[in-house]
Amino acid sequence: MFLGTFSEPAFARTLARMPAATKHEAPAPLRTGERRRAAGVLVVKFGDAALTDVGDIALVASRLAAAQDLGHDVVGVLAAIGSATSELVALAHQVSPSPPERELDMLVSMGERVSCALAAMALVDLGYDAVSLTGSQAGIVTDTAHGAARIVEVRGHRVRESLDRGAIVLVAGLQGVSTDSEVTTLGHEGSDATAVALAAALSADACELLGATDGVSTADAQVVPGARRLAAVTHEELLEIASCDGGPVPLRSVEIARNHQVPLHVRSSVADGEGTWVVTEEDGRMLERAIISGVTHTVGETVYRTDGVAAAGLFGALAAAGVNVDTILQAGDGFVFSVPSQDEGTTATVLDELGGDWSADASLGQVSVVGAGMKSHPGVAATAFATLEEHGIEPVIVTTSPIRISCHVRRDAVEHAVRALHDAFGLEDEEGSDG
């Protein structure tokens, strides 16, 4: 059962193993209007990798306490512990074969609240002032879509008031309250969106996203074992990387960070590595950086070719059906576009309803060379296409942006293309990656 996940003896053993130096006396009370800390607001998100079981709560508390000791106003955004969310969903389906979306959100949002309450308890035992808040209490306002809500506003006054009195604030990730005053959940990787949105609302100095990997790499390490961690990338570069398979930060969170210029720090939740900073291109951390930041890929797309359908009607209907379109090219009187493979059924229904001729090709994958430096350095495209030609890989579709060159190639050639391009741009070299 769900509550069986939280073993009191396991938590007690972990807390007992913590170094004595992490246990502090209660801080002196603040005078009215006084600010104890001056290092700015730090929002830290702990995801699944950081909360595998209840024993990790003590480590989360220790990390947040250490951040406050460095002078930060600290907000922790926590995911659910272990398999709590999937267990809650399974519980719902034991009761009902088709649980109402509203009630499912009410149930699923419990997991993150449990994590935050336990972390607040652990911090209090360490001598810190701490308070746990639901998404609603933290002011996360969403639209009315249950299960996949979008954040429309953050009313962060209650979080700010708690920080002003010296408390460490724990906010339940994944959830908010809709404009209709209903509990909502934010869908896949929703805790990242919670953290970045809070960081934007609080004008935080940084938002740390703690996960399973130590930052952003020059390629997927499962495809390129020699891929290296990048010291820094721009929001724009990470947007391109996040749209491909295995991106270390969800696309929606990167969009929020870019729109509000929130510096992100992507780090491991279990190691003390430097991680990767995600910043504006003008930030000083981006000086002397590589022309190319990485090579990304995706094989989870289907490419469609249409004829006889107007652009406005086609893409308007796809948007209304909730289909996210990636590549778009005009080909004569028709269009070529790609969508995620899981949307194939919906896309086919839309195209059938619109009429006209269409075909689908699921045999292609996409490989992209990404780097803000290519805007001011000629020859990147020449190197990319010469490399593919040398390895006998023929691009079927080519699209570009100021910081990206993407090629659709045969799906069975995708990994070969990634390795060849990674090598051609010297991304395994220290100089070529960390800049």
Could you tell me if 184 and 316 lie in one domain? Answer: no
Confidence of residue 306 (pLDDT cuts 50, 70, 90): very high
Amino acid 131: pLDDT: 98
Domain limits for position 427:
295-433
pLDDT confidence of residue 27: 36
| pLDDT band for position 285 (cuts 50, 70, 90) | low
**Model pLDDT, residue 15:** 35
Q: Is the pLDDT of residue 30 over 70?
A: no
Mean pLDDT of 245-260: 87
CATH number at residue 55: 3.40.1160.10
pLDDT band at 246 (very low <50, low <70, confident <90, very high): low
Q: Within a domain: residue 425?
A: yes
CATH code at position 408? 3.30.2130.10
50-100 residue pLDDT tens: 999 999 999 999 999 999 999 999 999 999 999 999 999 999 999 999 999
pLDDT tens track for 159-177: 999 999 999 999 999 999 9
Last residue of a domain, one of 211, 242, 259: 211
- If asked whether residues 57 and 192 sit together in one domain, one would say yes
Residue 259 predicted with pLDDT over 50: yes
- From 168, 193, 211, the end of a domain falls on 211
Give the residue among 296, 301, 298 at the shortest CA–CA distance from 336.
301
67 and 183 together in one domain: yes
Residues 6+ apart with CB under 8 A from 192: 45, 47, 173, 209, 249, 250, 252, 253
Q: What confidence tens digit (pLDDT) does each residue in 179-201 have?
A: 999 999 999 889 999 999 999 99
Query: Whole-model pTM?
Result: 0.83
State yes or no: pLDDT of 29 exceeds 90. Answer: no
- Same domain membership, residue 314 and residue 193: no
Task: Tell whether the model's pLDDT for residue 430 goes beyond 90.
Answer: no
Q: Are residues 59 and 188 in the same domain?
A: yes
* Per-residue model confidence as pLDDT tens digits over 143-157: 999 999 999 999 999
Q: Note the pLDDT tens digit of each residue in 204-245.
A: 999 999 988 889 999 998 899 989 999 999 999 998 888 776
Evaluate if residue 273 carries a pLDDT over 90: no
Mean pLDDT lowest among 12-16, 30-34, 223-227: 30-34
User: Packing angle between helix 101-108 and helix 84-95, nearest 10 degrees?
Assistant: 140
Contact 419, 224 (CB under 8 A): yes
pLDDT of residue 2: 31
Residue 394: pLDDT over 60: yes
SS (H, E, C) the chain: CHHHHCCHHHHHHHHHHCCHHHCCCCCCCCCCCCCCCCCCEEEEEECHHHCCCCCHHHHHHHHHHHHHHCCCEEEEEECCCCCHHHHHHHHHHHHCCCCCHHHHHHHHCHHHHHHHHHHHHHHHHCCCCEEEECCCCCCEEECCCCCCCCEEEECCHHHHHHHHCCCEEEEECCEEEECCCCEEECCCCHHHHHHHHHHHHCCCCEEEEEECCCCCECCCCCCCCCCCECCEEEHHHHHHHHCCCCCCCCHHHHHHHHHCCCCEEEEECCCCCCCEEEECCCCHHHCCCCCCCEEEEECCEEEEEEECCCHHHHHHHHHHCCCCCCCEEEECCEEEEEEEHHHHHHHHHHHHHHCCEEEEECCEEEEEEECHHHHHCCCHHHHHHHHHHHCCCCCCEEEEECCEEEEEEEHHHHHHHHHHHHHHCCCCCHHHHCC
Count how many domains the chain has. Answer: 2
Instruction: State the chain's mean pLDDT as an integer.
Output: 86
pLDDT reported for residue 39: 74
| Residue that finishes a domain, picked among 168, 194, 211 | 211
Q: In the sheet that 140-142 helps form, which strands lie side by side, from edge to edge?
A: 151-154, 140-142, 175-178, 183-185
Q: What is the predicted pLDDT for the residue at 432?
A: 39
